[in-house]
Amino acid sequence: MKKLIALLAAVLMMLSLLAGCSGPTQGQASEPPAGDTAAPETTPSPTVEQPAAQDFKVAIVLATGGLGDGSYNDSVYEGFVKAKDELGVDFQLVEPAEVAELQGDFVQLAKSGEYDLIFGVGYECEEYVVATAEQFPDQKFVIMDSTVADHANITSVQISGPQMCFISGVIAGMYTKSNKIGIMGGVEGPAMVARCIVPFTAGAKLVNADAEVVVKYSGSWSDSSAGKEIALALYQEDCDVIMPYAGGSGLGVFTAAQEKGFYVIGAGGNQNSLAPELTIASGLFFYGNMAFYCIQQAMAGTLESGLKQAGLAENGVGYTTEGSNVEMSQENTDRLADIKQKIIDGVIIVPESEDALESAIANNAGH
């Protein structure tokens, strides 16, 4: 009897763990208005045979963060829902829990031969997509947030995070009075410096030559309490505009702002509603737009392989003040539009390495 109960308890725990991985996928399945009879995402396993109810079928393998990251997974997913609603595309969603699952997922999807297009999300899937693409040369792949450019059956889309951070830096430079701006980062790494801090700094210096950027890290992508303490420490060092760039840890910055009254700039999604009186704007990634665009092109048969850069010009990144109650003057709005246009025209340079920072600042001065 005891053994039986113990066994049941063990099974229950296993199940709830599995539910943690795949449950939400199924939960979301009922959400998009069903455009067809077979909703393929109700079966989490890509190996299950699907009745061919639609002409165009797409599979998407998310990054391991899964849905609800408020960043690229969610954004790509929105693009798919839009494609389903507007283009009648049928899609299969795969939410891997670990990087180790990626190779198997891609091979299974490609082997089935059912999908016109297979999407991988996040640079962590790059090598697995490349390996699978070499094995199945007739299968078309798209990788979001990648730079793979040398395969005939892979299209890489790179969203310009640096351009988004540059614009956020410009906004921060406009609003700071102490001329000290903070970045609350997650975990330090070369990508963080090159794709966030450097362009942000260049953006701030463009409109405010005296601006100084202070960076501190919470050491985690999920510790919102540590994020709050970091923000308070930045505020103590006179930073009066702070941008979180730290996933879930970033949420604490908004709480700290409400206690102390400094300005915040959101990143990666519209976070203005978290502290509407103090959040000036949020920088946005439009992965969804790009996913939608790729599907549209593929359906028309015009999707080209190689690298596609998606920055301000392609509507891959942008910013929004929607939901914010912080006033942005007409002068600042015009200035931002002007800077945005100059980035698109290539007049203003967005640096992406520490070495390029000084020369970019010198080049951009006066615009």
Instruction: Give residues in contact with another protein (CB under 8 A).
Output: 2, 5-6, 9-10, 13, 16-21, 23-24, 27, 31, 66-70, 188, 214-217, 219-220, 222-226, 228-230, 232-233, 236-237, 247-248, 251-252, 255, 274
Tell the smallest beta-carbon distance from residue 218 to another protein (Å).
9
Closest to another protein by CB, 69 or 240 = 69
Q: Output DSSP code: residue 10.
A: H
Closest to another protein by CB, 225 or 333 = 225
Neighbouring residues of 76: CB distance < 8 A, sequence distance ≥ 6: 60, 62, 119, 121, 144, 287, 288, 291
Closest to another protein by CB, 46 or 70 = 70
Whole-Å CA distances, 163 to 200, 293, 297? 9, 20, 24
Closest to another protein by CB, 62 or 154 = 62
Closest to another protein by CB, 104 or 269 = 269
Helices vs strands, H then E, count in the chain: 12, 12
Tell the smallest beta-carbon distance from residue 121 to another protein (Å).
15
Tell the smallest beta-carbon distance from residue 149 to another protein (Å).
32
Token pair belonging to 322: 């929607």
Tell the smallest beta-carbon distance from residue 355 to another protein (Å).
18
Handedness of CA 98, 104, 110, 114 (dihedral sign): negative
Tell the smallest beta-carbon distance from residue 132 to another protein (Å).
27
Token pair belonging to 332: 């600042």
Tell the smallest beta-carbon distance from residue 92 to another protein (Å).
19
Handedness of CA 282, 239, 246, 222 (dihedral sign): negative
Closest to another protein by CB, 93 or 274 = 274
| Helix ranges restricted to H, the chain | 2-29, 72-87, 102-112, 126-135, 161-175, 190-192, 198-207, 224-236, 251-260, 287-300, 330-345, 354-364
Q: Output DSSP code: residue 182.
A: E
